[in-house]
Amino acid sequence: MKLADLDIIVTAPPAPGWGGRYWIFVKVTTDTGITGWGECYASTVGPEAMTAVIRDVFARHMAGENPENIELMFRRVYSSGFTQRPDLTVMGAFSGLEIACWDILGKDRDRPVHALLGGRVADRLRAYSYLYPSRPSHKLPEFWVDADMSAESAIDLVEKGYTAVKFDPAGPYTIRPGHMPSMSDISRSADFCKTIREAVGDKADLLFGTHGQFSTGGAIRMGQAIEPYSPLWYEEPIPPDNIPEFAKVAAALKIPVATGERMTTLAEFSMALRHGVTILQPALGRSGGIWQAKKIAAVAETYNAQVAPHLYAGPVEWAANIQFGLSTPNLLLVETIETPFHAALVRNTLKVENGYVLAPTGAGLGIDFDEDLARAHPFTGDGLHLQMQESPVSYHERNIFEGGAPSKD
């Protein structure tokens, strides 16, 4: 069996658009006619340029190869052009293609991917969700800075069975280096934690999200303000380009530090573990794929650390996260995005029940991908999947930030 053909679909989710402006799906077919699906979580260049990168990586390093030889193909890509170091764009391309290889291998053997990764260690996975608007009264963009609305959304998730909720009221992430948060951002963040904690009590963990926007000192100030409400984690408090600084943040706080959505390959995650990070959040469509994620989780075990794969993408990366999670003993949580479009793209083969993701029953990734639906929603915009704010944070006026891919009307 050899990898033979590649097709790429760039899909734009309809409103509300949770998961980014577009998703890049890859369809890989073998010479025996088996099709595998993957998703590339990479957005440093636009979709047209990214499509060219994906085609180049496939043609140069994977076409004609046995899909079993994942380690060999990874080494080719990781070493491409005399590099051997993390590269978000190239490794993002490979990651989606690698996921497709696992889908192929599972279908060829009529087994779910987790059965090929050491087998299942759980029958269901504890899940969390961002706090999205859940009631007619939750209007945008005000929702993102209103603690009472977010608390109502948290209550709605708890009633659905969720035992962890994530929110990020800490102000904008910008193209500038890490900044000192404004006092209003600190006050709002503490108010969010207090209000949501009072609303859910001990029925749910609080996951405090940021996007690497703070200086080291600023991250410590923000962390100390929210510490009384016992968040389960403090996510990406500083930019990912200076990993040793995480040690200072971790040492100054009692909150577990989490990071990883912008990191790629084992080298960066290993360094994060050495500098105080205790929860790793690889995005499998960027961090090297499923096999590299298994390596990352194994190294985390030696630090008594846990993994919680990141998801701000489409349902194919979600499916990869689930197969990875089912076979990973030090899994903490998996992220979900429950929208009708996510569900429809995989014909409802991924299910969340009472706050847990159920193990898919099908072969490969366990999804039934609706190719026609994906093609019926092409991306026609000019933005990237996510974008950072160019203007600096305000210290005079209230910061209202909708995220890097604002929802559509």
Question: Catalytic pick from 61, 114, 179, 211?
Answer: 211
Which of these, 218, 134, 136, 210, lies nearest to 173 by C-alpha position? 210
Q: Name the one residue in this structure whose structure tokens are 């636009």.
A: 46
Extract the tokens encoding 73: 């193909």
Contacts of 386 by beta carbon, 8 Å cutoff, 6+ apart:
20, 21, 43, 312, 403, 404, 405
Q: Residue 36's beta-bridge partner residues?
A: 28
Triad 198, 339, 190: Cα angle to 5°: 25
What is d(CA 9, CA 383) in angstroms, rounded to the nearest whole number? Answer: 17
Question: Catalytic pick from 61, 114, 275, 310?
Answer: 310
Element containing residue 188 per DSSP (H, E) = helix 183-200
- Tell how strand 124-130 and strand 356-358 pair up: antiparallel
Extract the tokens encoding 301: 């075990």
Query: Sign of the C-alpha dihedral, residues 89, 26, 129, 171?
Result: positive
334 phi and psi angles, rounded to 5 deg: -120, 145
Extract the tokens encoding 9: 């679909």
What is d(CA 377, CA 156) in angstroms, rounded to the nearest whole number? Answer: 30
Q: Name the one residue in this structure whose structure tokens are 């995650």.
A: 269
Do 114 and 323 meet the contact criterion of CB atoms below 8 Å apart? yes
Number of neighbouring beta carbons within 10 Å of residue 123: 9
Cβ density class 268-288: b for 16+ within 10 Å, e for less = bbbebbebbbbbbbbbbbbbb
Active site includes 211?
Answer: yes
Residue type, position 301, single letter:
E
Contacts of 65 by beta carbon, 8 Å cutoff, 6+ apart:
2, 3, 72, 73
What is d(CA 190, CA 188) in angstroms, rounded to the nearest whole number? Answer: 5
* Widest Cα–Cα separation across the chain: 63
Question: Which residue numbers are catalytic?
Answer: 211, 310
